[in-house]
Amino acid sequence: MFSVQISSLEELPHVAKEFLKAFGEERLFAFYGSMGAGKTTFIKALCRSMGSTDNITSPTFALVNEYDTSLPEKIYHFDFYRLKDMTEAMDIGFDDYVESGNYCFMEWPEKIERLLPDHLVEVHIEEISPTVRRLKAEII
């Protein structure tokens, strides 16, 4: 279990590095949290920590964005918030992304619960106050 309280944006680079170290070989991450909890902000910190210089934004309308890193792997960033039904996820080749061996960061995974693989890192971000977040993550 990885658990941390984040009190400022300045802490994010350090927390992102520690998070990636804690889940070294893992590639599939499901991010849960309310609107505005900081899912995209934390994913951006993770991408920066992995050497991405791409413009990291929530793929709300595209469903998935692809980012290059300084690593051999790519990052696939999903946002299922506006998903109408799970067939949309299947239509973009969700299974192929998940099975690619690349990093998959998924926002609003509860919208595709039945499609999620059995083994992934479940990440919960909770808003404690306007400036404080609690992040808990574990492999399930």
Whether residue 28 contacts residue 137, with contact meaning beta carbons closer than 8 Å, is answered with no
Domain that holds residue 134: 2-139
Whether residue 3 contacts residue 136, with contact meaning beta carbons closer than 8 Å, is answered with yes
Question: DSSP secondary-structure letter at 26?
Answer: -
pTM of the predicted structure, to 2 decimals: 0.94
The CATH number assigned to the domain holding 34 equals 3.40.50.300
Q: Quick one: pLDDT at residue 60?
A: 77
The pair of structure tokens assigned to 20 is 């990636």
Q: Quick one: pLDDT at residue 46?
A: 97
Q: Quick one: pLDDT at residue 32?
A: 98
Q: Quick one: pLDDT at residue 6?
A: 97
User: Within the chain, which residues score under 50 in pLDDT?
Assistant: none
Q: Quick one: pLDDT at residue 58?
A: 85
Q: Quick one: pLDDT at residue 59?
A: 81
Of 12, 22, 26, the C-alpha closest to 103 is 26
Number of domains comprising the chain: 1
